[in-house]
Every structure is written in structure tokens, then in C-alpha cells.
């Protein structure tokens, strides 16, 4: 019996890549350019937040008007991407989490497994981070923090775009959301998908287990185990 096609929706920061603080730096440089203030992200804990939500918090915390939020966010997005690209290319600190490249290469060999992004990143920033490590081509479609502020809406958009892009009505029981924070688990469940939490970011396995994902992994080193899970789980 041939298995139904599967869709894997991956988070970016903390799951696939780490940017060694360069995203925060790019945000602060963009805010400096627009509003002439520094240290604008002070006190913001970004784990699991979308870039739209982070920008809204920056405005609030620094007593800045959000009267034209969409226009302000568009300007911030463009400037942050420009700064991020420069900083990523100038630094040897960003990297991929252990096992990521080998796993993606293995997954690409399966015609019944399809990949997408579901990330709080601004779309251009997400692709910059992946392209920095030569893995952008694995993800032709996704939902992003420049689309929506709410993570559930982003994941739902990633799912719907994937259905359109691949021309497959993926069963929700064969749709997996993979991320490193409790919010990835919670919002993946909100769209009816199954969830895999990986302890590659700021949250340990025990903390992730509290949110009852379908599986918790320490990293992506066990490629055969991961593939078995998403194909047979």
C-alpha cells in the first residue's frame, strides 16, 4: 500500500538555523535608521514570536506611534533585510543546527514527502538565513511573519499555499509542524497538524514534552528515525 503524501512545515530560527544574535542586530539597526533610537529591542524575548509581533512590541516599548503600522512595518522589513544580509555575509557565527543539511538531503529523495516553511520571520529574512547555508532550495513555499502576526494563521497559510503549490490536498494526519518552541507545538495543533518538537533552540526536551507534541527529538541527527516517524507515524 502506497502511503499518502506528507507535508513537513519547518520553523527556521532555532530549528534549522541559528543567527548568533544577528537578527536582533539587524532589527536594531533598522529601527535606528527610521527612528534614530538605539537598543530598541531591550527586554523583548523573541522565542516563538513573529516579526510582526516583535515590531509592534518595539513600537510600544519605545513609545513610538503605530498609526501607519503597515507602512511602518514595510519600511522596517526592507531595512532589516538589507542589514541582515550584510551581517550574515560578514560573519562566520551563523550556522545550521546539527543534522539539518543531511536530513534535508535525505528527505529530498522521497517523492511522497514535501517541504514548506512556517516561520515568524519576515519572508525575505527567512530566505536570507537559509540561503546563507545553501538550503533555501529545499523550501519553495511557506507562510511567514510578514504575512500574518499570529502563528496559527501563518501555519494555516503555509498549509494552504503548499496545497496550491504541490497540487495535493494533504491529509492533516500526514501534515507535520516541526519547531523548537512550545508555540510551534501549540499552533501546529491549532491547524490540526501533528507536531515534532526539537530541542535545538532555547527549550529543553523536558519543557517541550509538557506541551504534548507527537514527538520530541534532541536534534536531527537520527535521519532514519525522523523519516520513519513522518512516513509511518
Collect all residues with Cβ–Cβ distance below 8 Å to 127 and sequence separation of at least 6.
Answer: 136
Q: Is the pLDDT of residue 1 over 60?
A: no
Over residues 59-107, the pLDDT tens digits come to 999 999 999 999 999 999 999 999 999 999 999 999 999 999 999 999 9
As a whole-number percent, the residues of the chain with pLDDT over 90 amount to 96
C-beta of residue 15 within 8 angstroms of C-beta of residue 85: no
User: How does residue 193 score in pLDDT terms, banded at 50, 70 and 90?
Assistant: very high
Rounded distance between C-alpha atoms, residue 72 and residue 66, angstroms: 7
Query: Where do the domains of the chain lie, and which CATH numbers do they carry?
Result: 6-18+95-232 (3.40.50.1000), 22-90 (1.10.150)
Distances (CA, A) of 146 to 67, 96, 160, 174, 223: 18, 23, 16, 26, 31
pLDDT in tens, 203-223: 999 999 999 999 999 999 999
Please, where are the H alpha helices in 96-200? Answer: 100-107, 123-131, 151-166, 182-190
Angle made by CA atoms 165, 148, 60, in degrees to the nearest 5: 160
Amino acid at each position: 500500500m502506497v502511503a499518502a503524501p506528507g507535508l513537513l512545515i519547518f520553523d527556521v530560527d532555532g530549528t534549522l538555523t541559528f543567527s548568533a544574535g544577528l537578527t536582533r542586530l539587524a532589527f536594531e539597526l533598522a529601527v535606528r535608521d527610521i527612528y534614530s533610537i538605539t537598543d530598541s529591542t531591550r527586554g523583548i524575548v523573541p522565542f516563538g514570536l513573529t516579526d510582526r509581533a516583535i515590531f509592534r512590541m518595539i513600537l510600544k516599548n519605545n513609545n513610538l506611534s503605530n498609526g501607519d503600522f503597515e507602512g511602518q512595518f514595510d519600511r522596517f522589513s526592507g531595512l532589516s533585510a538589507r542589514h541582515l544580509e550584510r551581517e550574515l555575509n560578514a560573519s562566520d557565527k551563523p550556522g545550521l543546527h546539527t543534522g539539518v543539511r543531511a536530513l534535508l538531503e535525505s528527505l529530498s529523495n522521497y517523492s511522497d514527502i514535501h517541504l514548506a516553511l512556517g516561520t515568524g520571520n519576515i519572508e525575505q529574512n527567512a530566505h536570507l538565513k537559509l540561503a546563507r547555508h545553501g538550503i533555501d532550495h529545499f523550501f519553495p513555499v511557506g507562510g511567514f511573519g510578514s504575512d500574518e502576526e499570529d502563528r496559527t494563521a501563518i501555519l494555516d497559510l503555509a498549509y494552504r499555499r503548499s496545497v496550491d503549490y504541490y497540487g495535493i490536498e494533504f491529509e492533516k494526519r500526514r501534515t507535520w509542524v516541526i519547531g523548537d518552541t512550545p508555540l510551534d507545538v501549540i499552533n501546529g495543533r491549532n491547524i490540526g497538524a501533528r507536531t515534532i518538537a526539537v530541542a535545538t533552540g532555547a527549550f529543553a526536551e523536558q519543557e517541550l514534552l509538557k506541551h504534548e507534541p507527537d514527538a520530541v527529538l534532541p536534534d536531527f541527527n537520527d535521519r532514519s528515525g525522523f523519516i520513519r516517524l513522518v512516513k509511518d507515524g
